[in-house]
Amino acid sequence: MSEAVPQPNSIKKILPLILATAIFMQMLDSTVLNTSLPAIARDLKESPLNMQNAIISYVLTLAVFMPASGFLADRFGTKKIFIFSIVLFSLGSLFCALSQNLTHLVISRVVQGIGGSLMTPVGKLALIKTFDKNELLKAMNFAIIPALIGPVLGPLVGGYMVDYLSWHWIFLINIPIGILGITLGLKFMPNYKSADVDFDLKGFLIFAAASLLLSISLELFGNLQNITPVLIVFILGFLFMYYYYRHAKKDKSPIFPLNLFQVRTFRVGIVGNLATRLGISSVPLLLPLMIQIAYGQSAVTSGWIIAPMALTAIFGKSYVIKILDKFGYRQTLMTNTFIIGTLICLLAIPDINTSLYWFVPIIAVLGFFNSIQFTSMNTISIADLRNFQTSSGNSLISVNQQLAIGFGIAFGLIVLKIFENTEIIHGEPHNAFRYTFLTIGILTIISGFVFRRLHISDGKNMKSKEE
């Protein structure tokens, strides 16, 4: 099995930056396209409704190939797979910019998706194997900043690029970032391998089918017309999950061993991530929608309203380690989730006559606490994994996060559409958004109780050496 070996300080300094580069490309690309679809549709002479395929193809490719990231890293080495993934993602970005029609664009997005499905999980795996547990919190804390600012800056950057340059630049911007990632990766990325690797092809196909079906159902939920086929796909996805569970119980080396869930901190981290993101993930979508639909403002205005979330997320990073060292993971995660839920509920207070600036301080404070939440959830999930569990555990955490974000966005849209069709909103679209924020805020508060299953001492091995 591969073991983490002591690394020179130069590698330990640069490695979080390499992972941050990969995460930034992926998170920016996942969100920058949303505001640009109408412009791309006009240029490619397509209906804007068909352009959704460009987003769906990318998401589905992530869902299919991400489960294999741990095996590929163990088999061929973290360095080779990471650099290969960035090259693939950058080439996919270039192909997207050169696309002459929707078919070209969708194929290019699949190439991007294959690169993206490996890039972040493998970079994160190298980080986990390089740093000791008491150094990992600090390293991870820096590396995931782009995961917080990407979804916020994406729509804003996309809006400006389309307005002042052309839609091609939302893809071309990845090229210099990719070259930076490749250059740093060649010099500083360690190449961890595992000598004893069996690929569970059957398990991979079953799990990939489950992830694919669940992702398709989540994308269909976002455009809900007829709920029956959506529910059928959703239920099929869970049936494949159950089929995988049966397979993993019998197989000697499944792609995701069930003994991962015997690790309590991993189990709580996975469930907590899924539960709390139902509310957290929907806010960056719902608030700009409300500002544009209910208040009649532009996409750029809505982008600027939520931009403070990115700044305070970065600011929050400097406090995460101190807070976790003082209060521990259990108290921090429970209290922090309650605060986030309360802040989401506060978004429901302003009526249609209230100034838009009312939202800015709430969003700014929300960014700070989101920062604490993501770092805490990501690090407690891997706190007690053994060396032989890190590859499969890290891959499963990445898949879970991808699905959790999708669930959150779909859930927010479903709740919004339910309220839009009720008498309670009195024909005011703005009220539908207010009740939606109230609903997901309350559910986020309740989700905080998931972290009660943590022990007070959990995560002690993650404490910073600076203490």
Q: Supply the DSSP string of 313-368, one letter for each residue.
A: HHHHHHHHHHHHHHHHHHHHHHHHHHHHHHHHHHTTS--TTS-GGGHHHHHHHHHH
Amino acid identity of residue 464, one-letter, is S
Provide the pLDDT confidence category of residue 74 given band limits of 50, 70 and 90.
confident
Provide the pLDDT confidence category of residue 6 given band limits of 50, 70 and 90.
very low
Least confident range from 13-17, 51-55, 67-71, 122-126: namely: 51-55
Closest C-alpha to 317, from 459, 137, 124, 120:
137
pLDDT at 336 over 90: yes
pLDDT at 128 over 90: no
**pLDDT at res. 148:** 67
Q: Comparing 238 with 224, which gets the higher pLDDT?
A: 238
- Residue 273 CB-density burial (10 A; 0-12 exposed, 13-18 middle, 19+ buried): buried
Helix or strand holding residue 155 (H, E): helix 145-164
Does residue 321 contact residue 378 with C-beta atoms inside 8 Å?
no
The answer to whether the pTM exceeds 0.85 is no
**pLDDT at res. 223:** 57
pLDDT in tens, 375-398: 888 888 888 888 777 878 888 888
Find the helix packing angle between 359-382 and 283-293, rounded to 10°.
Answer: 160
pLDDT at 101 over 90: no
Does residue 410 contact residue 220 with C-beta atoms inside 8 Å?
no
Max Cα–Cα distance, the chain, nearest Å: 65
Query: Is the alpha carbon torsion for 114, 103, 217, 49 positive or negative?
Result: positive
pLDDT at 465 over 50: no
pLDDT in tens, 227-241: 777 788 888 988 998
- Residue 452 CB-density burial (10 A; 0-12 exposed, 13-18 middle, 19+ buried): exposed
pLDDT at 181 over 70: yes
Amino acid identity of residue 295, one-letter, is Y
Closest C-alpha to 178, from 18, 402, 395, 16:
18
pLDDT at 3 over 80: no
Quote the mean pLDDT of the chain. 81
pLDDT at 255 over 60: yes
